[in-house]
Amino acid sequence: MKLSSFIKLSAFGISSIFFKMKSPILGTIIVTDKCNLRCKHCSVNNITSIIYSYSHILCEMEVLYNMGIRILFLCGGETFLWQDGQYNIRDLVIKAKSIGFLIVNVVTNGTFKLDLPEADLILVSLDGDKECHNNIRGDTHDTIINNVKNASSNNICFYMAINKINKNTITSVCEVAKTTKNVRAVSFNFHTPYPDTVELQLSKKEKSECLKIISSLIDKKYPIFNLKIAFPYLIDNSFPSPCYQCVVIENGRISTCGRCIHVKDLCNKCGYFFVAEYTLLFKGNIKIIIEMLKTYLKYI
């Protein structure tokens, strides 16, 4: 991240914290829900399979920018399936940067060639060691690792959703992140139990054990892009939710925090670490503010 972007974001964050503003800073555009995979834990793929047009997504970028959003995520479905004529996902990142978004991140399943040097982070989903990952995501592990090693830039962060299947493979993912070319860090979430994937949800005890492992890996200097200070709140979902500083836009519909806000009773079982991190940050938790500044400077 450029220093000027960092200063602008910090200024926004500090004024939000001190004036207890609820205006959003982080926005996600769903470029399509079409996906080439059907992962066991996922409830949001191939519902409409629409690939939105370039002009449609540009409009959504303008809407988010005019709301004051400066951190943009492009998400799916599978983002690398997105294209419109000669435009592909890389053109969307370049356009977002030219509009003025300070951070532009793309989330992908990593099964396509990774050529996105303009993105601040490419979040590549890796859901465990080879066996667990392939159990959840089909036989894709080796393709993903190859694509990561051959990526045209080193702006990759693994993204792991921890669930009943892969909970014992956290260390393995961190090891791969530490030793694989082009990877800066790993970012974790817990499984969020949509009605059709409740069986993958972790118990409090399991969450606590996972967080102990992640904490000790952070202490051992493994590259982990999460804030340790939010961990106690993640065990029993005692963080505030939803997050009013985050929005998602899909097919013109804006949702506060996530599309999942429309699923009854899901927010009090939320597994997304960013919700705990951002809501605690914007409540003015000084320790979180300091840890977030340090972590963002290290990995973005």
Ligand X SMILES: C[S@@+](CC[C@H](N)C(=O)[O-])C[C@H]1O[C@@H](n2cnc3c(N)ncnc32)[C@H](O)[C@@H]1O
Q: How many residues bind ligand SF4 (CB under 6 A)?
A: 24
DSSP-derived pairing of the beta strands 71-75 and 83-84: unpaired
Q: Site residues for ligand SF4, window 44-63 (CB under 6 A)?
A: 44-45
Which residue from 16, 32, 125, 295 is in contact with ligand X, where contact means CB under 6 A?
Answer: 125
Beta bridge partners of 187: 159
Q: Is 108 in the site for ligand X (CB under 6 A)?
A: yes
Judged by beta carbon, residue 13 or residue 193, the one nearer ligand SF4 is: 193
Beta bridge partners of 105: 73, 121
Torsion angle (degrees, nearest 10) of CA 166, 167, 171, 172 = -10
- Rounded Cα distance, 275 and 296, in Å: 16
Q: Are 125 and 100 contacting, i.e. CB atoms less than 8 angstroms apart?
A: no
Round to the nearest angstrom and report the end-to-end CA distance of the chain. Answer: 6
Secondary structure (3-state) at 117: coil
Beta bridge partners of 121: 105
DSSP-derived pairing of the beta strands 71-75 and 103-108: parallel
Q: Is 27 in the site for ligand SF4 (CB under 6 A)?
A: no
Q: Is 32 in the site for ligand X (CB under 6 A)?
A: no
Which residue from 12, 61, 64, 78 is in contact with ligand SF4, where contact means CB under 6 A?
Answer: 78
Q: How many residues bind ligand X (CB under 6 A)?
A: 20
Residue among 31, 98, 26, 20 at smallest CA distance from 69: 26
> Which of the ranges 5-13, 56-64, 262-270, 283-291 carries the binding residues for ligand SF4, by CB under 6 A?
262-270
> Which of the ranges 59-67, 205-213, 261-269, 289-297 carries the binding residues for ligand SF4, by CB under 6 A?
261-269
Enter the DSSP assignment of 253: E
Which residue from 257, 281, 288, 292 is in contact with ligand SF4, where contact means CB under 6 A?
Answer: 257
Which residue from 88, 109, 166, 169 is in contact with ligand SF4, where contact means CB under 6 A?
Answer: 109
Q: Where are the alpha helices (DSSP H) in the chain?
A: 3-18, 54-66, 89-99, 130-137, 141-149, 170-179, 204-219, 231-235, 273-282, 286-299
**Nearest approach, Cβ of 241 to ligand SF4 (angstroms)?**
4
Judged by beta carbon, residue 10 or residue 138, the one nearer ligand X is: 138
Q: Is 197 in the site for ligand X (CB under 6 A)?
A: yes
- Does a cis peptide bond (omega within 30 degrees of 0) precede residue 24? no
Which residue from 167, 184, 191, 207 is in contact with ligand X, where contact means CB under 6 A?
Answer: 191
Which residue from 1, 17, 37, 94 is in contact with ligand SF4, where contact means CB under 6 A?
Answer: 37
Torsion angle (degrees, nearest 10) of CA 41, 276, 70, 144 = -30
Q: Is 88 in the site for ligand SF4 (CB under 6 A)?
A: no
Beta bridge partners of 27: 72, 247
> Which of the ranges 13-21, 86-94, 152-160, 258-266 carries the binding residues for ligand SF4, by CB under 6 A?
258-266
Judged by beta carbon, residue 81 or residue 104, the one nearer ligand SF4 is: 81
How many Cβ atoms are within 10 Å of 95's Cβ, its own excluded? 17
**Nearest approach, Cβ of 200 to ligand X (angstroms)?**
8
- Return residues touching ligand X (CB under 6 A): 35, 41-42, 44, 75-76, 78-79, 107-109, 125, 159, 161, 189, 191-192, 194, 197, 271
- Return residues touching ligand SF4 (CB under 6 A): 35, 37-39, 42, 44-45, 76-78, 109, 192, 241-243, 257-258, 260-261, 266-267, 270, 272, 275
